[in-house]
Every structure is written in structure tokens, then in C-alpha cells.
Amino acid sequence: MAPSARSCSAATTPSTPSSTMRDWRKKANGDDRSGDAQSRQSFSLGVIADVQWVDAPDGANYAKTVKRCYRGALATLSNAVDWWLDLPESESPLFIAQLGDLIDGMNGPDKLNCADGALSKAMGHLNRLPCPSINLVGNHELYNYDRAALSKADWLQHGDKEYYAFTPVPGWRVAVVDSYQIALIGHADDDPRRLEAVDMLAKENPNVHPDGRAGDWFEGMEDAGYRRRFVPYNGGFGREQLEWLKSELRSAARAGERVLVLSHVPLHPEACGGGNMAWDYEEALEVMRSEEAGGCVAAVFCGHDHKGTYHQDEFRVHHCTFASPLNKGEEGSAFGMVKVKPDCLEIRGPVMDDLLPDVPGRPCPIKEEDSSLGLSCELISLVLADTPLAIDTIGVDEVDVDTTSTKRITEVAA
């Protein structure tokens, strides 16, 4: 049986900084900024994904093929916060992109039943920072809490929406998307978003029971290609959210802004092993690549696939899947920061391979013994495509997310 989430007001117990995320987002979207044009269009953010900590001995992944250092992952989060705090003020992050799965599903009500305590410890580390953390919802959040509880959780600070966008500096927009709008987990049994997930999985993977109970979800799927993504620990963005994303990208293109997308689940096959990605990744990519979007998407930052990887697609979008602290525990350094500039993304971390693995296409890191950070670290620089031009009107037809020009993977893999 899949972990059963609960509705519990205790999901709000972790304390939040005196300046709440809502207040910060209002400030970030304001115009009270100083400095020259170049500096105003640059900012830094910290990155960490899939801490997934639980006070339990080391374990393994679902397939029992990869070790998971549960307690060591929390130690890595603490080390990450110390590292961000040691940065000089001029380089300190504007916010932390905590890309989901902060605590493990073993904390849930049908197992150790200690989600509130685990969450409080993890958020206690993040709250040592003077900047807010953008906390995404991953599958493990939904193993511990249902949507009703998360909608009241101050540590998420998403307001009345489970996806949103903000402008940290002029020329940049950050779109925070929810990878589990369509999902078996988190929603009430009669929620239309869950019912849509049940129907979708029944068509794509007959091994999955409607309640998401554990089993051999991959039986007979050896040659199914990307259809392997149709399992309960993944989810979909859904039509409503993709329509919202289309509107945000259209608005950004008209304003001449670049867009950074934050997602728990990858949305490109080459940004993961092919199985750990959104059910409707094709529709999401089609929206990002539409004429209305005008090439404004610069990068997608995500987690979920613990080994991590990097891919730049044919539209020059950088897909960065950051590795999990679970892999090495406190012996690793799966965290870092990104300096967002008008022409490039500079990614730094104590050990680059721990954060963004060495795969074809990823630049070789440069060792910085005496960098502007004042810390020994490794750097890679991802060059951005030409700056999008601001346009007042876009004379193209609306993008229909139901009829994409990309061939459905179910047809390809059949």
C-alpha cells in the first residue's frame, strides 16, 4: 500500500523568519532596487534537492539498487546552510531553491508517524538563513501530508495557489510549478485531479492499482520506453496549470524577461533516466517552446532523480537535475549556489560532481581556490541564448496543450 497522507494542522509548526515569504515576494516584485543595470539583472540563489531525511538507519531506493543515507542527508542540509552563511554579503543568495522531498515518506502516519518533528528539524536549519527558501512539493511531502494540510502550511507560503511566479530582479521571472497537480497522492479520493490520474494510469500502466499500493509497477514494461514514467511516485502538471504557465511565459516574453522554471520532477527525458519525469512532460515542453513563449525559458531546475544529471536541449534550455544528499550523506556536498546573470548561469559548489554529475555536455568545473565567494569551490558556467526581445503583441494562435506537435510517447513506444 502506498503511504497514506494525513490532514493535520501541525504541518504549520516549523517557525518562519520574521519576514514571511509573502512579504518577500511583494518586495521582490517591487521596483525599489538600486545599482547599475547589470547588477540589477543579476542575483544569486542557493540550490538543494531531495534531502529526504528521516531519523532511521541507511536504506535503499524502491528498486533496492542505491544506498540512501537518511541521517547523513540532514547533516548535509546543515552543512549547506553553514556554507551559504559563510558567503560574503555581496554574494549571498536572494533565496534558496529547495526543490522538494525535504523529508522522507517513512516519517508518515502509517510508518514512524513523526513527520512534524522531522519537518521542524529540517526547516530549523533553513530558517537560520536571512533569506527565505522556496520550498517545492515533492512526492514525499505528499506521503506525509495531504493537500488540505499543505494548503495551510506557512513553510510553503504559496498563497492560494500551488504554483506561482515572481520577479526577483528586473529582466528575470521565476516560475514555481507543481509536478503533482494530477496525481494519485495527496488529493482526496473524489478530487477530479486524482480521478484523472487514476484514468491515465489505467490506460498507460495496468500494473498500477487505483490506490497506488506497492507492487511490481514495471512488470512487462522493459520495452515501454518513456511510458515507464506512469507510476504513482510521478505526477502531471495538468491542463489548468499549463494554461497558467503559457500565460506567464507569454507575459514574460512581452516584457523581454528570461524565465527560470523550478520543478520537483524533471520535464525532459534527457534530464533524468527517462522514468522519473512528469506524465505530461511533452505538453509542458510544447508550452515552453511555443512561439508565444518567445524563447524566454533559460533553464529548468529540478530534483526527484537522485543521481542527478544535466542536459541542454535543442532550444538551448538548460535542464539541471540536482543530485540528492542521500547519495553520500554527510560525506558529500550536494548543494551549491547559482549566480544568475544576463548572459550565463554560474553554478558553484564545494564539489560539483556531488551537485551536478559529470555527464556529456556538462562543462568541466573550474577549481576556484580564491573566488569572490571567499570559499574554495568549483564553478561551471552555462551560457544563455540571446536575450529575448520585448514584444507588445504576439500574432500567433493560442497553443492548445491537448494537441501538441510532438508525437505522443505512447505512440512511439507502442
Beta bridge partners of 68: 59
Coil/strand/helix, residue 389: coil
Coil/strand/helix, residue 283: helix
303 neighbors 99 (Cβ within 8 angstroms) = yes
Range in 4-8, 85-89, 211-215, 336-340 with the lowest mean pLDDT: 4-8
Residue 243 CB neighbours (<10 A) = 14
Q: What is the 8-class DSSP label of residue 66?
A: S
Position 225 in a domain: no
Provide the residue type at 41 as one letter.
Answer: Q
Position 148 in a domain: yes
54 neighbors 99 (Cβ within 8 angstroms) = no
Coil/strand/helix, residue 379: strand
Q: How far is CA 51 from the centre of its chain?
A: 12
Q: Find the mean pLDDT for residues 234-263.
A: 98
CATH code at position 299 = 3.60.21.10
Q: Find the mean pLDDT for residues 94-112.
A: 97
Has residue 254 got a pLDDT over 90? yes
Beta bridge partners of 347: 338, 380
73: Cβ–Cβ under 8 A, 6 or more apart, which residues? 51, 52, 53, 324, 325, 326, 329
Position 164 in a domain: yes
Q: Find the mean pLDDT for residues 135-163.
A: 88
Position 6 in a domain: no
Distance, in Å, from the CA atom of 38 to the CA atom of 275, rounded to the nearest integer, reads 40
Position 216 in a domain: no
pLDDT at 220: 82
State the pLDDT confidence band at 161, using cuts at 50, 70 and 90: confident
pLDDT at 135: 96
Locate 391 and state its grid cell.
Answer: 514584444
What does residue 375 show for φ and ψ, rounded to 5 degrees? -130, 150
What does residue 409 show for φ and ψ, rounded to 5 degrees? -65, -25
Of the candidates 149, 122, 146, 148, the one whose C-alpha atom is nearest the C-alpha of residue 135 is: 122
What is the value of pTM for the model shown?
0.88
Position 155 in a domain: yes
DSSP 218-255: TTT-TT-GGGGG-STT--B--HHHHHHHHHHHHHHHHH
Position 213 in a domain: no
**Terminal CA-CA length for the chain:** 29
Distance, in Å, from the CA atom of 150 to the CA atom of 10, rounded to the nearest integer, reads 10
Q: Find the mean pLDDT for residues 371-377.
A: 76
175 neighbors 296 (Cβ within 8 angstroms) = no
* H/E segment holding residue 52: none
Locate 397 and state its grid cell.
Answer: 494562435
Query: What's the total number of domains in the chain?
Result: 1
Q: Find the mean pLDDT for residues 2-13.
A: 50
What's the length of the chain?
Answer: 414
Residue range(s) defining the domain that contains residue 93: 38-187+235-413
pLDDT at 396: 39
Position 394 in a domain: yes
Which comes out higher in pLDDT, residue 98 or 14? 98
367 neighbors 403 (Cβ within 8 angstroms) = no
Q: What is the 8-class DSSP label of residue 10?
A: G
Has residue 364 got a pLDDT over 60? yes
